[in-house]
Structures are given as structure tokens and as C-alpha cells.
């Protein structure tokens, strides 16, 4: 380790979600089911969008990327927890914790950007339909996704470097089920004011500002939809936008609670419950929300079920 990091901690111990063996057993089964359901649901969304010629619009391009991202996100955060629950081993190495936090932050930041671009896509489709095909070309969509990943990976690197250059001299028990920023920062035995300020600035730029833009986009969408005639046009607009708005509310509502506090604090059980929603529940519900509330997705799933071989061209 570098001279600026005089850590004596070589591994961290997770407190997990419960200290009761029976509760841990139940949780391991529940979260394993959630994890498998998330993998299957999001993989199905990706496959259906990939093979259905009627789902080749920018909206579904972003949705397929969101599903891939959700698979990465839940795998990063939950796989370690499942191993710990099933093997009764609660430890993770110092470097392993750094790697997990890096990818967890990067995936979470990418989702913030992606949800913002999806809101912009819906705004153009509903409020600026004549410009939509000109502005939202496939090339532009690809650049948006690449920009989301690149900026998130670089931002996560900055935060991760600042956190793990701090000294960790003990204790080594994380009051969490994965290496979450507040939980790790609480164990640093040095002044974390600069790191907290940097995290807060990134939270403003990557979480809060996109959230405000999403709210603005949907305010304008709502205003435009209410002026539409006849009623079935309103219904279709609400159908395509309502699913995305539900996902935004679930993900952003919990993420803002966790990261918009500039002052590091001792994690509580409430924080772990909040984290469950944006690391486990949101990725699991996303494919369900889009499938049940989106008419085009439901039709595509019916076509896929009627022609089983169409999923494997």
C-alpha cells in the first residue's frame, strides 16, 4: 500500500442483514430467488428486444441496455452476500471490497445517466414528434450509452481512489451486506471531510441534477399528454412513459436517501433496508414493470411465446 494509506485492516467483516441463523437462512433463499428472477427477467427482456423487429426503436434500445445494467448491478452487490449467507463466511478482502465498491458505484451512476436519457427520449417522442427521428438516431443513442458508461467508470475511479487511500486501522466490521460507501467511510481512522465533499459533489452532478431533469421532462410530458385527443392517444403515451416513471421513482427515491447526505454517518439498519430497494428490488422489478405496463412489450412477449424458436435465431 502507498505511503498515504497506512491501513492495517486486510479484510472487512460484514454484519449482514441479520445475526440470527434462521433469519439468515430465510434471507439466503429469498435473495437467491430474487437474484435468479432478476437474471431471467432481464435476460428475457434483452432477448425479446433483440429479436423482435417491432422493438427496434431508441426506447427499447435504452431498455435493453438498462436490463443488461441491472444484471451487472445486482450481480455485483448480491453475489457476495449470497456466498456469505450460504457459506456462513462474512469476510471480504480489502482489495475485494475496493473492487466491489468500484463496480457498484459505476453501475449505479450509469443507471442514473441511462434513466435520464430514457426520460429525454420520451420527452422528444411525445413533445417533439417531428424532430424525434432526426435527433434520436441509433448513432446518437449509442453515443449516449457510451457516455454514460465512460463518465461513470471514471467518476467511480475518483471516489474509490479517495476512499481507499484513507487509513483503516480498525475496527473492520462493516454494518452492511456489501461494501457501500457510507459503511466503509465510517471505518476510516482519518478526517474524511474532503472525501465526503467530493462524494456530495458527484451526487449533485450524477444523481440530483439528472433527477431534476427527469422531473422537468415528465412535467412537460404530462402537460402535453393532457392536451392530446382522443383518449386512446393519451393512454398510449401514459403507457410508454408510466413504466419508466415508476422505475425512476423506485431507483432515485432510495438512492437520493443514501447519497445526498454530504456528512458521513454511522450506518444504521435503515440504510441497509434502503440499499435493498435500489440494489435488489429495483433490478428485479424493472423487467416486470416494463412487461406488464407496456403494451408493445406484452405483444412482443406473446409473439415470442407463440413462436418459441424465435428467441434463438
DSSP state of 166: S
Question: Residues 6 or more apart from 58 whose CB is under 8 A from it?
Answer: 121, 136, 138, 141
Q: What is the helix (H) or strand (E) element at residue 91, kind and residue range? A: strand 91-93
Q: What SS3 state is found at 262?
A: coil
Please tell me whether the peptide bond between 230 and the residue prior to it is cis, using omega within 30 degrees of 0: yes
pLDDT for the residue 264: 44
Q: Could you identify the residue written with the cell 443513442?
A: 141
**HSE toward the beta carbon, residue 73, CA cutoff 13 A:** 29
Q: Could you identify the residue written with the cell 445517466?
A: 113
pLDDT for the residue 235: 63
Is residue 80 within 8 Å of residue 250, measured between CB atoms? no
pLDDT for the residue 262: 44
Question: Residues 6 or more apart from 251 whose CB is under 8 A from it?
Answer: 111, 115, 278, 282
Is residue 196 within 8 Å of residue 262, measured between CB atoms? yes
C-alpha cell at position 60: 427499447
* b/e per residue 194-205 (b: at least 16 CB within 10 A): ebbebbbebbee
Q: What is the helix (H) or strand (E) element at residue 59, kind and residue range? A: helix 58-87
Is residue 165 within 8 Å of residue 5, measured between CB atoms? yes
Is residue 24 within 8 Å of residue 49, measured between CB atoms? no
Q: CA geometry: angle at 19 spanning 13 and 21, to 5°?
A: 115
C-alpha cell at position 15: 454484519
CA distances from 207 to 13, 109, 151, 241, 260 (A): 29, 7, 13, 20, 8
pLDDT for the residue 62: 92
Question: Quick one: which of 197, 182, 158, 163 has its CA closest to 7?
Answer: 163
Question: Residues 6 or more apart from 168 whose CB is under 8 A from it?
Answer: 7, 8, 9, 94, 187, 188, 189
Question: Can you give the pTM of this predicted structure?
Answer: 0.84
CA distances from 68 to 38, 137, 181, 210 (A): 10, 21, 23, 21
Is residue 197 within 8 Å of residue 208, measured between CB atoms? no
Longest dimension (CA), the chain: 69
pLDDT for the residue 31: 87
d(CA 117, CA 252): 14
Give 11-311's CATH code, choosing from 1.20.1070.10, 1.25.60.10, 1.20.1110.10, 1.10.10.60: 1.20.1070.10
Q: Could you identify the residue written with the cell 455485483?
A: 76
pLDDT by residue for the chain (313 residues), tens only, comes to 444 445 578 889 888 777 777 787 888 888 889 999 999 989 988 988 888 877 888 988 998 999 999 999 999 988 888 887 777 778 899 999 999 999 999 999 998 899 889 888 988 988 888 889 899 999 999 999 999 999 999 999 999 999 999 999 878 888 888 898 888 998 998 888 889 889 888 888 888 888 888 888 888 888 887 776 666 555 665 665 666 677 777 777 766 666 655 444 455 667 777 788 888 888 888 887 776 666 777 777 777 777 655 444 4
Q: Could you identify the residue written with the cell 413533445?
A: 127
Q: What SS3 state is found at 251?
A: helix
Amino acid at each position: 500500500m502507498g505511503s498515504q494509506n497506512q491501513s492495517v485492516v486486510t479484510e472487512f467483516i460484514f454484519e449482514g442483514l441479520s445475526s440470527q441463523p434462521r433469519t439468515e437462512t430465510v434471507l439466503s433463499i429469498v435473495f437467491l430467488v430474487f437474484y435468479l428472477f432478476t437474471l431471467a427477467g432481464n435476460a428475457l427482456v434483452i432477448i425479446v428486444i433483440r429479436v423482435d423487429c417491432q422493438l427496434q426503436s431508441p426506447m427499447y434500445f435504452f431498455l435493453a441496455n438498462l436490463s443488461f445494467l441491472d444484471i451487472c448491478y445486482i450481480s455485483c452487490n448480491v453475489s457476495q452476500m449470497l456466498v456469505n449467507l450460504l457459506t456462513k463466511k462474512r469476510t471480504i478482502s480489502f482489495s475485494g471490497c475496493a473492487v466491489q465498491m468500484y463496480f457498484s458505484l459505476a453501475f449505479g451512476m450509469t443507471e442514473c445517466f441511462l434513466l435520464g436519457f430514457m426520460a429525454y427520449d420520451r420527452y422528444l417522442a411525445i413533445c417533439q414528434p417531428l424532430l424525434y427521428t432526426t435527433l434520436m438516431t441509433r448513432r446518437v443513442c449509442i453515443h449516449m450509452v457510451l457516455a454514460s458508461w465512460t463518465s461513470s467508470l471514471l467518476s467511480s475511479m475518483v471516489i474509490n481512489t479517495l476512499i481507499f487511500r484513507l487509513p483503516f486501522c480498525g475496527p473492520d466490521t462493516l454494518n452492511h451486506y456489501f461494501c457501500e460507501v457510507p459503511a466503509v467511510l465510517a471505518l476510516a481512522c482519518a478526517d474524511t471531510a474532503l472525501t465526503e465533499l467530493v462524494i456530495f459533489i458527484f451526487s449533485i452532478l450524477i444523481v440530483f441534477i439528472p433527477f431534476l431533469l427527469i422531473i422537468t421532462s415528465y412535467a412537460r410530458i404530462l402537460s402535453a399528454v393532457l392536451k392530446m385527443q382522443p383518449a386512446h392517444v393519451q393512454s398510449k403515451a401514459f403507457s410508454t412513459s408510466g413504466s419508466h416513471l415508476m422505475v425512476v421513482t423506485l431507483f432515485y427515491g432510495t438512492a437520493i436517501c443514501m447519497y445526498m447526505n454530504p456528512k458521513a454517518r454511522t450506518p444504521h439498519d435503515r440504510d441497509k433496508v434502503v440499499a435493498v430497494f435500489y440494489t435488489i428490488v429495483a433490478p428485479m422489478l424493472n423487467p416486470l414493470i416494463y412487461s406488464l405496463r407496456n403494451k408493445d412489450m406484452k405483444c412482443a412477449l406473446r409473439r415470442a411465446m407463440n413462436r418459441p424458436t424465435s428467441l434463438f435465431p
